[in-house]
A and B are shown apart, each in its own frame.
Chain A
Amino acid sequence: MLNPNVIEADSLSRRFDSFVAVDSVSFSVSEGEVFAFLGPNGAGKTTTINMLCTLLRPTGGTATVNGYDVVRQRSGVRRSIGLVFQDPTLDEHLTAEQNLRFHAYAYRIPRHLAEKRIGDLLELVELSDRRRSSVRTFSGGMKRRLEIARGLLHNPRVMFLDEPTLGLDPQTRRHIWEHILQLRERHGFAIFLTTHYMDEAEVAGRVAIMDNGHIIALDTPERLKDQLGGDVITVEAQDVDATKAELLRRFEVVPLEEDGHLSFSMPHGNRFLPRLLRTLESRVISVGLRRPTLEDVFLHVTGHAIRDREADPVSQARAHVIQHRRGR
């Protein structure tokens, strides 16, 4: 293959009637890379995945997966990818191994090879002892593990994980990630991940921050955090507005405000903190100092927190409309 990038998107867009869900996004994912789309619900992450995996036609721009065009060479794309969607896509009336067998036949894996791979993968996701159980009896985490095993059965070049741990408890989430990363180590596939969990995006080599259908920042997690220029200092004050004004006057910082907490970034925060406390006249209730997280980056580049956007009823309604139009 001439192109070393396993995914290549150029001005990819999708509109639903007058609403633009994905607005001219461009990015590339290289062989074996872990690439994350981070953003709130309704940002356009799932719409992008659906276009890349041929479930949805783009209304503008182009994209290739493993060198195949997502519109003109769909079957090449489909053979190259594995998928784990937000909602389960298993046949609950069948057993674990019957689900995997269906997949193996659909992807034309020779039978003797299929049985061996099914056994190996079930072993890896620790479901060997449940291989003959109906999927109906599985917990959420077990279903996810089975879907991951299924997605890898045909040796894809890239694995799409759309909110792979949504609705799972923290312990199960960690467990799922151990499996994913362990399998990647072994098989060397690239991962295209969408998530709104900050810690999940941290495992990625590069993170694209998405909001309102646009990519607004794209870099390694470290460099994204460095953009903020140092450490994050949070100040909880009695009079938020007065404190804000004083911070601007004395230190020339424009803090972001969130639930009565002011936050701003500052190089060498540990040295700055004593000076801040000495000079600040406003009444301060508490102060905090920490390394920036992707949440701070998100707040910085979008001006709002991920969870604000989720609580905002208009965006929620819009996310719902998209979900609906997409028709599952």
Chain B
Amino acid sequence: MSEIVVAIYVVAYRELLRFVRERSRLISSFAMPLLFLIVFGAGFTRTIGVMAPGVDFVQFMYPGIIAMTVLMNSVMSGLSVVWDREFGFLKEILVAPLARSGIVLGKATGAAVISVIQAGVMLLLAPLVDVAITPLLVLKLVPLLILISFSLSGLGLLIASRMRSLQGFQLVVQLLVFPLIFLSGVFFPVNNVPAWLELISKLNPLTYAVDAVRQLFLAGQQGALEAIGITLFGHTMTVFHDVLVIAGFGLLLMLLATWSFTRQE
């Protein structure tokens, strides 16, 4: 048991150390969401107009961007495993008296903490887009983002457990993860699209992560949920239902990632 705890601690500790030391990664992780927010916000807000009662395009997209930041950052925890393998450090981790499952959980924990930090910085931009942040919102948001981060780290780590090269991992991210993110309702409501797109989006677990974050932000807006909420079999998903989907998806991926990582030599 303690080998799991120690593994989580040291592996997460190092992820954070690296995050702080690598200025370029720090900057780029904020730059892209910010770019989306500014460019799409300024570009589309007037054209698109009101998405739901009291919600314009930027206010619609802003929670989605926060979710996207967490999604991207978490999937990239897998990149750090591939990176460690390529540059040899993984061996140092694997020959240490650390439980394999703890190593996987440690990577995910590191990603979760970094995700929350990044989301926190994004929250500072809220006044710019006219979104109100309340302490209650933050209190609900943080555990939700941690859960989302763990789930998506599971995906990243599962991919990484079998990847031998950075290029291979990047390729999978581009072919699988980017489409998943773009089809998760970050940029448009998944209700109001062609049926095939709606189907794909509703099969995409990330959709529910984005929906849950958005619902927390739009909780105060009367009628917003009806306009942009996700209906599944005639039932509108609540935050709680979204959380169940994300947790189930995350648990499955995390188990697969741990299994795959433990089995490898």
Residues of A within 8 A of B (CB): 53-57, 75, 78-79, 81, 83, 85, 87-94, 98, 102-103, 105-108, 134, 150, 326-328
CA distance A81 to B95 in the complex (A): 9
CA distance A98 to B17 in the complex (A): 9
For residue A78, which residues in chain B have a CB less than 8 angstroms away from its CB? 95-97
CA distance A53 to B17 in the complex (A): 28
Which of chain B's residues has its CB closest to A57's CB? Answer: B265
With an 8 A cutoff between CB atoms, is B94 at the interface?
yes
With an 8 A cutoff between CB atoms, is B135 at the interface?
no
A89-B92, A90-B89, A94-B17 given as contacts; is B22 within 8 A of A327 (CB)?
Answer: no
Which of chain A's residues has its CB closest to B96's CB? Answer: A106
CA distance A54 to B172 in the complex (A): 30
With an 8 A cutoff between CB atoms, is B198 at the interface?
no
CA distance A171 to B21 in the complex (A): 33
User: Closest Cβ of chain B: how far from A84's Cβ, in Å?
Assistant: 11
With an 8 A cutoff between CB atoms, is B98 at the interface?
yes
For residue B46, which residues in chain A have a CB less than 8 angstroms away from its CB? none
For residue B7, which residues in chain A have a CB less than 8 angstroms away from its CB? 106
Which of chain A's residues has its CB closest to B18's CB? Answer: A93
User: Closest Cβ of chain A: how far from B193's Cβ, in Å?
Assistant: 42
User: Closest Cβ of chain A: how far from B100's Cβ, in Å?
Assistant: 10
User: Closest Cβ of chain B: how far from A8's Cβ, in Å?
Assistant: 19
CA distance A326 to B164 in the complex (A): 11
**Other-chain residue from B9, B89, B264, B265 in contact with A105 (beta carbon distance below 8 A):** B9
For residue A56, which residues in chain B have a CB less than 8 angstroms away from its CB? 265
With an 8 A cutoff between CB atoms, is B56 at the interface?
no
A89-B88, A90-B89 given as contacts; is B94 within 8 A of A55 (CB)?
Answer: yes
**Other-chain residue from B18, B22, B97, B264 in contact with A107 (beta carbon distance below 8 A):** B97
Which of chain A's residues has its CB closest to B162's CB? Answer: A327
Evaluate contact between B18 and A91: CB separation under 8 angstroms. Answer: yes
CA distance A75 to B96 in the complex (A): 8
**At the interface, is chain B mostly helix, strand, loop or mixed?**
helix
A-facing residues in B4-34 (Cβ within 8 Å): 6-7, 9-10, 13-14, 17-18, 21-22
CA distance A54 to B100 in the complex (A): 13
CA distance A93 to B88 in the complex (A): 13
Q: Could you tell me how many residues of chain B have their Cβ less than 8 Å away from some Cβ of chain A? A: 29
With an 8 A cutoff between CB atoms, is B233 at the interface?
no
For residue B14, which residues in chain A have a CB less than 8 angstroms away from its CB? 91, 94, 102
Evaluate contact between A88 and B88: CB separation under 8 angstroms. Answer: yes
CA distance A83 to B85 in the complex (A): 17
User: Closest Cβ of chain B: how far from A79's Cβ, in Å?
Assistant: 5
Evaluate contact between B87 and A92: CB separation under 8 angstroms. Answer: yes
Evaluate contact between A75 and B17: CB separation under 8 angstroms. Answer: no
Evaluate contact between A55 and B9: CB separation under 8 angstroms. Answer: no
For residue A87, which residues in chain B have a CB less than 8 angstroms away from its CB? 88
CA distance A55 to B92 in the complex (A): 11
A92-B87, A327-B164 given as contacts; is B18 within 8 A of A79 (CB)?
Answer: no
For residue A53, which residues in chain B have a CB less than 8 angstroms away from its CB? 95
For residue A134, which residues in chain B have a CB less than 8 angstroms away from its CB? 21
For B9, B89, B93, the residue with the greatest tally of chain A CB atoms inside 10 Å of its CB is B89
CA distance A53 to B93 in the complex (A): 12
User: Closest Cβ of chain B: how far from A73's Cβ, in Å?
Assistant: 11
For residue B88, which residues in chain A have a CB less than 8 angstroms away from its CB? 85, 87-90, 328
For residue A81, which residues in chain B have a CB less than 8 angstroms away from its CB? 95
CA distance A326 to B98 in the complex (A): 21
With an 8 A cutoff between CB atoms, is B235 at the interface?
no
A53-B95, A102-B13 given as contacts; is B6 within 8 A of A93 (CB)?
Answer: no
Evaluate contact between B91 and A89: CB separation under 8 angstroms. Answer: yes
Besides A55-B265, A108-B97, A327-B264, 13 other A-B contacts (C-beta < 8 A) = A85-B91, A89-B88, A91-B92, A93-B18, A93-B22, A94-B18, A102-B10, A102-B92, A103-B92, A103-B96, A105-B9, A106-B96, A328-B88
Evaluate contact between A328 and B18: CB separation under 8 angstroms. Answer: no
User: Closest Cβ of chain A: how far from B66's Cβ, in Å?
Assistant: 27
User: Closest Cβ of chain A: how far from B123's Cβ, in Å?
Assistant: 28
Evaluate contact between B95 and A83: CB separation under 8 angstroms. Answer: yes
Evaluate contact between B95 and A105: CB separation under 8 angstroms. Answer: no
CA distance A20 to B31 in the complex (A): 52
User: Closest Cβ of chain B: how far from A165's Cβ, in Å?
Assistant: 17
Of the A-B pairs whose beta carbons lie under 8 Å apart in the complex, a sample of 30, sorted by A's number, is: A54-B95, A56-B265, A78-B96, A83-B95, A85-B88, A87-B88, A88-B87, A89-B88, A89-B89, A89-B90, A89-B91, A89-B92, A90-B92, A91-B84, A91-B87, A91-B89, A93-B18, A93-B22, A94-B18, A102-B10, A103-B92, A105-B6, A105-B10, A105-B13, A106-B7, A106-B98, A108-B97, A150-B92, A328-B86, A328-B91
A85-B88, A105-B10 given as contacts; is B265 within 8 A of A93 (CB)?
Answer: no
A-facing residues in B94-118 (Cβ within 8 Å): 94-98
CA distance A103 to B14 in the complex (A): 11
User: Closest Cβ of chain A: how far from B260's Cβ, in Å?
Assistant: 13
CA distance A57 to B92 in the complex (A): 17
User: Closest Cβ of chain B: how far from A21's Cβ, in Å?
Assistant: 13
For residue B265, which residues in chain A have a CB less than 8 angstroms away from its CB? 55-57, 326-327
CA distance A108 to B89 in the complex (A): 18
For residue A88, which residues in chain B have a CB less than 8 angstroms away from its CB? 87-88
Which of chain A's residues has its CB closest to B93's CB? Answer: A106
